[in-house]
Structure 1
Amino acid sequence: MVVMGKNASSIMDGGEGKAELLLVGLGKPAKQLTLSSIKELGKLTEGFKPFWLLVRDASSDLVNELIYLLNLPKSVAKAITKPVPTRTTSVRLRKYRNLLFLTLEYVKYVKGPASISFNPVYVIVSKDYIVTIVSSKAEPTTHLIDRVREEPTNVFHLLYLLLDEIINSYFSVLELISEWIEALEDGVITGPRQYHLRRVQVIKRKLMFLRRSSWRLREVVREILGSEFLSTNEEPYKYIQDLYDNVLEIVDIAESCRERIADLLNMYLTSISNKLNEIMKFLTIIGTIFIPLTFITGIYGMNFNTKISPWNMPELNYPYGYPLVLVAMAIIGAVMLIYFKKKRWI
């Protein structure tokens, strides 16, 4: 376990923490060793080839040291330590002479109103090794360690397993988004609220990021299949080809969710319009009834002589007539507010 100094912040979580180095031999039987420093890697790789190096919560210094030890291009270190400051990591594949460098995203739901995190996963693939640099907060390698320990594998089969975990994270989040959309559809039909519109906008924004990420992932898997590192006769090629079909399905589901969100927004606006028409219809009926009555009272002014008949506005002679009228007006106003609230007009 490598404890980073105060000035070495984790590039994965943006703060101080501990970097963990796990070396796994991919031969038979599989070997596993936790390294105390990156320098141990140079002494142990010969006995572990092909190997998998899992780095959790790496610092910039640790990444640079790893790049130097494995004699990797400096552009790889720059892509990891100084990524482009965008909303999401740019999912991509970079080809070098003897290796592949993948920048992927592990998608995960975190507690909150439609809160989805896009966690960077950096993968360096060579014929002799595969290196993954991830964050311990959300990383797809937890289950892979047990699978590699149980069944011997090679570099590209491990790459397939890693891509499979990442693709499954997209499926899980898209399934969750579908449930959110279905719940919103029911809510909008029963009674549209301002809350529904805010929720639709949040989901729409998250879905936009997810669609962009899935498009890039589709291109990454396609480039892996077309690279000279992977032969069409190898078994991992067939597995990764199946993953490509899964990515196409993710793109289709994301597009379907986008269309449902657009339909949901139209449904909300239509429901609001119908609700407004219902309110105007009710107020028009009330106004139509009281317009002639107001006209009549306006002519006479309700000033009937109380001495001629006891029925001519007797409340004018009541000692508490005026306060009673004020109370009656307040009660009528309160009842109307309660009615409008119950009808969800206000």
Structure 2
Amino acid sequence: MAKTGKARHRRRKRRTPVGAAPGTLIADPAASATNLCLTLIAPDKRRSIRNAKIADIAASRGDWPVIWIDCSGLADVATIGEIGRMFGLHPLAVEDVVNSDQRPKAEFFDDHAFVALRMVDDAALQRYEQISVFFGEKFVITFQEREGDPFDPVRRRLAAEGPNRLRARQADYLAYALIDAVVDSYFAPIELISDEIEKIEEDMLGGAQKGLMQEMHVLRREITVLKGVLWPLRDALAALIRNDDPFVTRETKVFLNDTLDHAMRLIELVETQRDTLTGLIEMHLSLTQARTNEVISLLTIVSTIFIPLTFLVGVWGMNFDPDFSPWNMPELRAYYGYPAALLFMLGIAFALFWFFRWKKWL
């Protein structure tokens, strides 16, 4: 999961110009093309219209108990603004849809709620995107930056034959199901990070290795991103549960409470992973330092052994004249002087080696 060999590029989000009127919609030049998917929901049937138009929404709005508009791509701000006006969405909330760098939050208005979330777009690439969820008495509207989402289980439940709780309940329950899918989508990247941490831990049992520190720092940065998303996500879910607006029923709050438990579990997992990585980084530094100390100790011992040998070689290598004085190294004329000198120096080396072993320095 940790891509240490590839450069990571961050795209700067386009913001509303300074001084613009509140609710001004400015499209990001890099935004994906807008595509609408209209799902019409009744207790005993369901109908889906892909590539829907505003006219399809207007024609179907009053004939179905619940409608779900899924808008992927934020390039067509005119269509987004028209949907906002059609359902009476607050202009500031619609502006937050286009400015897709919002902190996860939940806001409540007279007849609808707005929830901004970060969802996992690609678990393997650690790519996230903002998803905005509006829901009121008979509608749910989702805006996402590009196609691809974790809503397929919800779509399959809506399309299932027979009695269906998702079709039979009100719009707030559908909004809960979508939010729950977003929250559950975080388990996949967190499990991938756990696998990476376990692999690094196993590799580290053999000692510090080059490249592990970089991988751990990349993983810790990813965990920091997850932590920064999950904590406000928890607050948004708690706000949905605490609110007293009539379009969020008591029954749905029970299910939202379960989603809040999932978010808390994710936060606990991320905190545990962060602590584990911190411990592994400290362990790697300790192993590296210990290895460095071992090398320095070995080099010091080798140098210590050769110091007296170097001294003797230096002394015997001086220019002496034994004919001038008996103090001028008479052993230079010894027949076995050279092997005797080598044996003497070898004895000193063994004596120093034994002394270091006795002191448990080796």
TM-score normalized by structure 1?
Answer: 0.77
CA distance in 2, matches of 1:159, 1:304: 100
CA distance in 2, matches of 1:303, 1:310: 19
Q: Which residue of 2 aligns with 1:22?
A: 37
Question: 1:87-126 counterparts in 2 under 5 A?
Answer: 89-111=102-124, 115-126=125-136
Question: 1:43-58 counterparts in 2 under 5 A?
Answer: 43-58=59-74
Q: Which residue of 1 aligns with 2:204?
A: 188
> What per-residue deviation string (whole Å, max 9, x for no partner) do you get for residues 91-145 of structure 1?
111111111111001125554xxx4122111100111100011144542223322
Corresponding letter in the other structure for 2:225:
F
Q: Is 1:144 aligned with 2:143?
A: no
CA distance in 2, matches of 1:203, 1:120: 22
| Gap change, CA 1:304 and 1:264, over 3 Å in 2 | farther
> What per-residue deviation string (whole Å, max 9, x for no partner) do you get for residues 301-320 of structure 1?
3889999989979xxxxxxx
SS in 2 for 1:192: coil
| Gap change, CA 1:303 and 1:129, over 3 Å in 2 | farther
Question: 1:335-346 counterparts in 2 under 5 A?
Answer: none
CA distance in 1, matches of 2:133, 2:156: 19
CA distance in 2, matches of 1:215, 1:285: 54
Question: 1:63-74 counterparts in 2 under 5 A?
Answer: 63-74=80-91
Q: Which residue of 1 aligns with 2:251?
A: 235
Kept after mapping to 2: 8 A contact 1:19/1:57: yes
**What is the Cα deviation at residue 231 of structure 1?**
8.0
Q: Which runs of 5+ in 1 are unaligned?
A: 1-7, 314-346
Q: Which residue of 1 aligns with 2:276?
A: 260
SS in 2 for 1:47: coil
Kept after mapping to 2: 8 A contact 1:156/1:236: yes
Match of 2:99 among 82, 90, 109: 82
| Gap change, CA 1:134 and 1:301, over 3 Å in 2 | same
Q: Is 1:132 aligned with 2:145?
A: no
CA distance in 2, matches of 1:304, 1:286: 30
Pick which of 268-277 and 144-153 moved more.
Answer: 144-153
Pick which of 141-150 and 239-248 moved more.
Answer: 141-150
CA distance in 2, matches of 1:64, 1:239: 31
Larger of the two Rg values belongs to structure:
2
| Gap change, CA 1:109 and 1:235, over 3 Å in 2 | same
Question: 1:32-47 counterparts in 2 under 5 A?
Answer: 32-47=48-63
CA distance in 1, matches of 2:246, 2:85: 26
CA distance in 2, matches of 1:105, 1:216: 10
**What is the Cα deviation at residue 71 of structure 1?**
2.2
Match of 1:289 among 296, 302, 305: 305
**What is the Cα deviation at residue 218 of structure 1?**
0.9
CA distance in 1, matches of 2:308, 2:209: 36
CA distance in 1, matches of 2:320, 2:127: 74
Match of 1:201 among 217, 223, 227: 217
* Percent identical residues: 20
CA distance in 1, matches of 2:333, 2:316: 17
| Gap change, CA 1:176 and 1:80, over 3 Å in 2 | same
**What is the Cα deviation at residue 166 of structure 1?**
1.2
Question: 1:307-318 counterparts in 2 under 5 A?
Answer: none
TM-score normalized by structure 2?
Answer: 0.74
